[in-house]
Amino acid sequence: MCWATFIETTATHAEKMLSPPLNRSFIHRQTTANQVRFTTVELSEMETKILNAGNHALEIEKRHLSRL
């Protein structure tokens, strides 16, 4: 499964996102050669929920397989 919980933008737009008032909402995550990635508190919370759900599903699957 592949998914991303970030907002990717060009360096030009990243400068705007790093400045007030946008810098209160967007958290710098990573800079690549041509792009800058940001996240938000809400996206980070969603990422945590997704990871926890995946781990929970794996635990359930392991329990069912062990009963076979």
Here the tokens at position 32 are 């690549």
Domain residue limits, the chain: 7-66
Q: How far apart are CA 8 and CA 35, in angstroms?
A: 6
Token pair, residue 58, equals 């794996």
* pLDDT per residue as tens, the chain (68 positions): 556 789 999 988 999 999 999 999 999 999 999 999 999 999 999 999 988 998 999 999 999 999 98
pTM: 0.74
pLDDT for 44 equals: 92
Which one of 1.10.10.10, 3.40.50.300, 3.40.47.10, 1.10.1420.10 gives the CATH number of domain 7-66? 1.10.1420.10
φ, ψ dihedrals at 5, nearest 5°: -120, 65
Distance, in Å, from the CA atom of 45 to the CA atom of 31, rounded to the nearest integer, reads 21
